[in-house]
């Protein structure tokens, strides 16, 4: 799918998994929002709220449509994707691509599991 970031190499065994993807100089959607460089340390990139900027309307429309299209594609294929957040959206020009699709296959809990589990009616 054009909105899924490619994997260069993947392997797994009983106790671990390894996934390698190409490095992107532009970084993730989170890097764009925080005006951060992908190679900077985590604390330097994301712990200065003064640098945060919003997205322009055309970016919100474009990225939102692309994310919804890939989520619709995954849903139609019966593939769960519970790890949607700005750090799992890689930017490639004016295109955004989802990362970490393998998390559900590896049995990792959803990024939002802690929020959902607060509600008793949701199983």
Average pLDDT, the chain: 87
pLDDT tops 70 at residue 14: yes
Radius of gyration of the chain (CA): 16
For residue 87, tell me if it sits in a domain: yes
Report the pLDDT value the prediction gives residue 89, as an integer from 0 to 100. 96
pLDDT tops 90 at residue 62: yes
What is the tally of structural domains in the chain?
Answer: 1
Tell me the pTM. 0.81
Contacts of 31 (CB under 8 A, 6+ apart): 37, 38, 45, 91
- Arithmetic mean of pLDDT, 114-122: 61
Report the pLDDT value the prediction gives residue 104, as an integer from 0 to 100. 79
The residue count for the chain: 123
Domain range spanning residue 84?
Answer: 9-117
For residue 4, tell me if it sits in a domain: no
């Amino acid at each position: 799918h054009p909105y899924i970031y490619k994997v260069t190499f993947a392997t797994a065994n009983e106790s671990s998994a390894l996934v390698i993807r190409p490095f992107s100089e532009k970084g993730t959607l989170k890097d764009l929002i925080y005006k951060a460089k992908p190679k900077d340390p985590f604390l330097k990139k994301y712990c200065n709220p003064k640098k945060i900027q919003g997205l322009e309307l055309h970016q919100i429309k474009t990225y939102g449509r692309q994310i919804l299209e890939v989520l619709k594609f995954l849903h139609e294929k019966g593939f769960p994707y519970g790890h949607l957040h700005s750090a799992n959206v890689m930017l490639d020009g004016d295109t955004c691509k989802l990362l970490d699709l393998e998390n559900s296959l590896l049995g990792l809990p959803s990024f939002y599991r802690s929020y959902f589990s607060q509600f008793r009616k949701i199983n």
